[in-house]
Amino acid sequence: MPNPGQIGPREREILTAIVETYISTGEPVGSRTLSRHNKDGLSPATIRNVMADLSDSGFLEQPHTSAGRVPTSQAYRYYVDQISGKATISVADQTLISDTLQGTVDVQEFLERTSHVLSLVSSGVGVAIGNAGPKNALEHVYFSRQANNRVLAVVVTKAGVVHDRMMRLERDLDQSDLNTAANYINENFRGWIISNVKTELRRRIDHERSEYDRLMKSLDELDKSGALAAEEPAKNIFVEGVANLVGNDQDRERLRGMVKTLEEKERVAELLAAYLDTRQEAVRVVIGLEEAVPEMRNFVLIGAPARVGEEMRGSLAVIGPTRMDYQHTITAVSYIAQLFDKLLNENT
């Protein structure tokens, strides 16, 4: 019985064929369909046996009304792992994207056009978010204990703006704990946009608490008390193509919730922040978004950071159904992320 780490060449070939056929047709895939197109001439009976093993391993499931199989989230994740780094953008997509984005002169215009072209290329929802910019990038923080449960937080930005805030903590921290927390933030987040620092800090607190228990408890206390609550300009958030998803979900109640989520731009920004790591270099594919938004259970996010040189200026993504053309969308997102850096550096 295969598992993700041990799947053999025959299982891999058949699973890939099932995923690509299902993406193309939207219909459950049967052994006879696969047999007709199998390059090794495998019989339907042999393919059925392989499909049974793949089903037992959680890669395939069988709709009640059909003899065919459909891929599970596990199958899509395996498929994406197989194509990552191998797919190349089509000439048609490259031309469409280049023509749409050519001539952009600033970040806002680029992002607005990006959300539009991504919705066209993917037939999903195109999302582009611009950060506040370098004036709100972190230079350093300093915490000073003033009295029991009272701490002065000083946040200095790259532009030289100083924000100070007197905080009342629920749990008292001594100055050594405060120094350790400040050093951690300064060493890990100098140059980051402050909103991204808060998002990543919260993620690390949630995931690394057991490894750095005392430090994470101190950071948690400071974060909850507003240590990084420097006033920030609003983000530029562009979302286009929500109507593309209306035909992809028969659960009307869930569909309404999903559309409502995507129409609330701040929630879309939170969704991207929850799944896209600002440190990542490549495109990330997240299959199943229900952890952040229950209504997005059968949807996928394909996104990447948008940088100019080393500076993080935003993020871009496609949100669509799990039955989407992954190669098509991954290559489009990657190409636009590269153009972002190239075009905006040229204009700068």
**What's the average model confidence in pLDDT over 334-343?**
86
- Whether residue 234 contacts residue 219, with contact meaning beta carbons closer than 8 Å, is answered with no
Question: Do residues 314 and 167 both lie within one domain?
Answer: no
Name the nearest CA neighbour of 330 among 23, 57, 14: 23
- % of the chain with per-residue pLDDT over 90: 32
Give the C-alpha separation, 196 to 209, whole Å.
19
Domain count, the chain: 3
Question: Do residues 156 and 120 both lie within one domain?
Answer: no
Q: Is the pLDDT of residue 133 over 70?
A: no
Question: Do residues 250 and 334 both lie within one domain?
Answer: yes
Question: Do residues 176 and 317 both lie within one domain?
Answer: no
The predicted-structure confidence for 53-82, as pLDDT tens digits, reads as follows: 999 999 999 887 667 899 999 999 999 999
Q: What is the mean pLDDT of the chain?
A: 83
- Which structural domain range is residue 40 located in? 9-72
CATH number at residue 195: 3.30.390
Of 199, 224, 249, the domain-final residue: 224
Of 169, 199, 224, the domain-final residue: 224
Q: Is the pLDDT of residue 132 over 80?
A: no
Which pLDDT belongs to residue 63? 83
Question: Do residues 271 and 332 both lie within one domain?
Answer: yes
- Whether residue 189 contacts residue 198, with contact meaning beta carbons closer than 8 Å, is answered with no
Of 224, 251, 273, the domain-final residue: 224
Q: What count of residues does the chain have?
A: 348
The predicted-structure confidence for 144-196, as pLDDT tens digits, reads as follows: 999 998 999 998 887 777 888 899 998 899 999 999 999 999 998 888 878 77
Query: Where does the pLDDT of residue 142 fall: very low under 50, low under 70, confident under 90, or very high at 90 and above?
Result: very high
Question: Do residues 251 and 332 both lie within one domain?
Answer: yes
Pick from 1-15, 180-194, 234-248, 306-320 the range whose average pLDDT is largest. 180-194
Which pLDDT belongs to residue 199? 81
Give the C-alpha separation, 58 to 61, whole Å.
7
Q: Is the pLDDT of residue 298 over 60?
A: yes
Question: Do residues 179 and 206 both lie within one domain?
Answer: yes
Q: Is the pLDDT of residue 326 over 90?
A: yes
Give the Å distances, CA to CA, from 134 to 5, 161, 337, 344: 43, 11, 19, 15
Is residue 80 a part of any domain in this protein?
no
Which pLDDT belongs to residue 57? 93
Q: Which residue has the higher pLDDT, 147 or 312?
A: 147
- Give a three-class secondary structure readout of the chain: CCCCCCCCHHHHHHHHHHHHHHHHHCCCECHHHHHHHCCCCCCHHHHHHHHHHHHHCCCEECCCCCCCEEECHHHHHHHHHHHCCCCCCCHHHHHHHHHHHCCCCCHHHHHHHHHHHHHHHHCCEEEEEECCCHHHEEEEEEEEEEECCEEEEEEEECCCCEEEEEEECCCCCCHHHHHHHHHHHHHHHCCCEHHHHHHHHHHHHHHHCCCCHHHHHHHHHHHHCCCCCCCCCCCEEEEECHHHHHHHCCCHHHHHHHHHHHHCHHHHHHHHHHHCCCCCCCCEEEECCCCCCHHHCCEEEEEEEEEECCEEEEEEEEEEECCCCHHHHHHHHHHHHHHHHHHHHHHC
Question: Do residues 307 and 265 both lie within one domain?
Answer: yes
Is residue 23 a part of any domain in this protein?
yes
Question: Do residues 193 and 331 both lie within one domain?
Answer: no
Model pTM?
0.71
The predicted-structure confidence for 250-288, as pLDDT tens digits, reads as follows: 556 667 777 777 878 878 888 888 888 766 667 899 998
**What's the average model confidence in pLDDT over 314-323?**
90
CATH number at residue 279: 3.30.450.40
Question: Do residues 251 and 333 both lie within one domain?
Answer: yes
